[in-house]
Amino acid sequence: MNTSSSASGHAVAVSNPYGHSLPSYLQSDQLGPWGVYLQQVDRVIPYLGHLARWAETLKRPKRALIVDVPIEMDNGTIAHFEGYRVQHNTSRGPGKGGVRFHQDVTLSEVMALSAWMSVKNAAVNVPYGGAKGGIRVDPKTLSRGELERMTRRYTSEIGIIIGPTKDIPAPDVNTNEQIMAWMMDTYSMNEGATATGVVTGKPVDLGGSLGRREATGRGVYTVGVEAAKHIGMDVSQARVAVQGFGNVGGIAAKLFAQAGARVVAVQDHGGSVYREAGLDVPALLAHVAKQGSVAGFAQAEVIAHAAFWEVDCDILIPAALEQQINAGNAHRIKARMVIEGANGPTTPEADDILQSRNILVLPDVIANAGGVTVSYFEWVQDFSSFFWSEDEINARLVRIMQEAFAGVWAVAQEKKVSLRTATFIVACTRILRARELRGLYP
């Protein structure tokens, strides 16, 4: 017997006539991020028709690599860090997904993130599968030299499964253009030839794409504007609250503010700030760039961490980490629309609560797909050695995001399901159709 979870989150038995039960770490009653993903898959299976025969493919990562990352520290001691690279599915193309450096990275998290990348890439119809990587480390505790040595050793260890046509890493939490430059250089040195296409999110001087840094936040803004049209919301009059104020939340906040919206509250790891008349977003971005957090911003009042979720707003953008909106705070949210800038910020229980309260949720697997879309543009440009202008990139990004959202919205209306389930229907159908057409080897 396999175990899966019902909509309520409780484990239920699922018949498997072949007796091939999932290992315990793959089961949804082990409710970490991977368990959340499995619950989402269970909800979409009834809509897959004959492709449901292949649904078990979605519940098993194709390949998971755990590596030891030993480095010499500045003081001469040897430290060991645990690294991961998971390829969830490659039926539609090479694996694609970021690498995060964070002290709370786990296998469950990386597996879930890789699976959401499979769904995200299929939802916007770029020719990638899903992958993700990470190292369990607090990078703030490392010197620049230690960070470089760790990055290069990790890249060498996972080098057996990555490559421009196999699996292409990118930046994620606590990683950036410099990390990608070190990864690209390490892989290239081991291969004996420069391979710019092995990673995306690189510096422009090394084959990176214009517009990549702002792409995820721009995608969040784009789908938010499209959704607002459908529910009769005037974005220029909207009040916005943002959790996380980095490349995703910060850029989205800036774009909404430029459209006339009032960004009334922002929360990050350092604190929460509020101003009913609207925060000065450029000033707050400059403060965060200098101080590392919104804490201490003089032009706003400080509010409690829990009070952030009760802010009276029209649009809420969780753009930090997983499982931030849960059964404990979903009842208190006052927004009309939630746009998921982060990966997996809403638990299935919270999803049900928000839906019952008629709060529209724009799921991560479509809302934050702008980053991987422009990563695809970067990869294409690297292969052709022909680069586009930033205006061209932004225009192509907006068109793809608008078309993807329109398709998801149409399925949601036709099937009378949430936008998350509709996105999974669109994406999983594409993934499993590719799986079926390719068949099984040998």
Hey, which residues are catalytic here?
Answer: 132
Which amino acid makes up residue 196? T
140: Cβ–Cβ under 8 A, 6 or more apart, which residues?
none
The region that residue 408 occupies, defined by phi over 0 for left and psi between -120 and 50 for alpha, beta otherwise, is alpha
Nearest alpha-carbon partner for 368 in 243, 219, 201, 245? 219
432, 54 contact by CB (below 8 A): yes
* Residue 204: C-alpha distances to residues 124, 168, 191, 372, 437 (Å): 24, 17, 22, 16, 38
Short-list 99, 104, 94, CA closest to 126: 94
The whole-angstrom separation of Cα 353 and Cα 77 is 50
Q: What is the CA radius of gyration of the chain?
A: 21
Instruction: State the Cα–Cα distance between residues 22 and 7, nearest whole angstrom.
Output: 19
Q: Any idea of the CA torsion for 214, 220, 223, 229, to the nearest 10 degrees?
A: -110
Beta strands in 30-77, from DSSP E residues, in sequence order: 63-72
